[in-house]
Amino acid sequence: MGKQATAGSEAERRAAFERFTEGRLGRAYRLAGLILRDPSEAEDAVHDAAVQAWLHWRELRDRDRFDAWFDRILVNGCRARLRNRSNRPLFVADSPELAGADAFSEVNEREVLHRALSTLGADHRIVVVLRYIEDLTPAEIAARTGEREGTVRSRLHYALRGLRAALEAAERTPGGVR
């Protein structure tokens, strides 16, 4: 009888985990892709985060905080990947259709922005992506990264300063955004 109860609770655990992860993986791939700028590495990061979440599922006491808990696992995994890899060319996932005279300008501006973003360190890139692309507040970012809100605000400040400097440098170089 003990084995049946364990099997039943294991099946319930698996069903609960599947309910929580269903529909969230697409957002997780997007987030990892924005942070890592490499679709293959983003898939690996999401897979690793899902495995970690499954292994630690019993530790999640408040199921209403699943999104923040899972994002924290994912962001920490992305941070580790960013720190461990050497600088690679930046992958530009979203290229606009070349429909008009401004298409080249849009592509060029996006490329310059992606290059500027790639100059940031892992911690700064993560807070910029979470704040300006995922539209999270500093408090929500703090919950997802495990950092204090003041640290998040400081990183945002210095990250934006770095982005501004990189964009200004790009404007001064031939082929940069004008």
Confidence band of 169 (pLDDT split at 50, 70, 90): confident
| Per-chain mean pLDDT for the chain | 80
Kindly list the distances between the CA atom of residue 113 and the CA atoms of 4, 23, 151, in Å, as whole numbers in the listed order: 56, 30, 24
- DSSP code at position 62: -
Nearest-angstrom CA–CA distance, 31 and 34: 5
CA-atom Rg of the chain in angstroms: 20
pLDDT at 86: 53
At 109, which CATH number?
1.10.10.10
Which pLDDT tens digit goes with each residue over 75-106?
A: 999 999 988 875 444 444 444 443 444 555 56
Q: Do residues 49 and 114 share a domain?
A: no
Amino acid 73: pLDDT: 93
pLDDT tens-place string over residues 150-160: 999 999 999 99
Residue-range definition of the domain harbouring residue 163: 89-178
Looking at the 3D structure of the chain, how many domains does it have? Answer: 2
23: phi > 0 → left, psi -120 to 50 → alpha, else beta; which? left
Q: 97: which DSSP letter?
A: -
